[in-house]
Amino acid sequence: MCEWPRNWPELIRGIGCEMCRAGRPDADRYGIRIYEGKYSDAYLQRADVQRGYTLVIWRGRHVTEPTELDDAEAAGYWAEVLAVARALITMYQPLKMNYETLGNSLPHLHTHLLPRYADDPRPGQPFPLSAQLPEARISEDRLLAEAAELRFLLR
Ligand SMILES: [Zn+2]
């Protein structure tokens, strides 16, 4: 049986938060930045789980729930999430876009953008995204090329 992390009360307050500690890097071990907004950064993910899989991360103070944002922050955050989603739609032409704001393993506000395709692993259902992402990585050449194109679309 799974359990919440032992330090969950600290994590939701931002103590030991990996996303706060990271700052706003151009790249990290999970992805490469394709968008730097006022409220968020977006990272095209290295893990080979789904073409165009991107994480949008709230920047600023530690926030666990979007309900902690004031109205201007909330409008700004979601507008940036949607801008990134539009670029993904333009580039990857999915059948459907999914917007997952979960935070069950890392409780710092972020949104998974998952394009869904005809050759999808689970059509008609939530994407089977595990906290333990597969070891498989998309090639560095492909990652850089797709990131450059997405940055162009988001300029
Ligand atoms: Zn944080």
Q: Please tell me the predicted confidence (pLDDT) of residue 147.
A: 98
Q: What is the pLDDT of residue 17?
A: 95
pLDDT of residue 21: 95
What is the 105 CA–ligand 1 centroid distance (Å)?
A: 12
| CA of 32 relative to ligand 1 center, distance in Å | 19
CA of 24 to the centre of ligand 1 (A): 12
pLDDT at 133: 67
pTM for this entry: 0.95
Q: How far apart are CA 151 and CA 33, in angstroms?
A: 9
Quote the pLDDT of residue 131. 60
Low-confidence ranges of the chain (pLDDT < 50): none
- Span from the CA of 148 to the centroid of ligand 1 (angstroms): 27
Q: What is the pLDDT of residue 19?
A: 95
Q: Determine the distance separating the centroid of ligand 1 and the alpha carbon of 107, expressed in angstroms.
A: 7
Q: Quick check: 39 and 59 in contact, CB under 8 A? A: yes
- 17 CA to middle of ligand 1, Å? 5
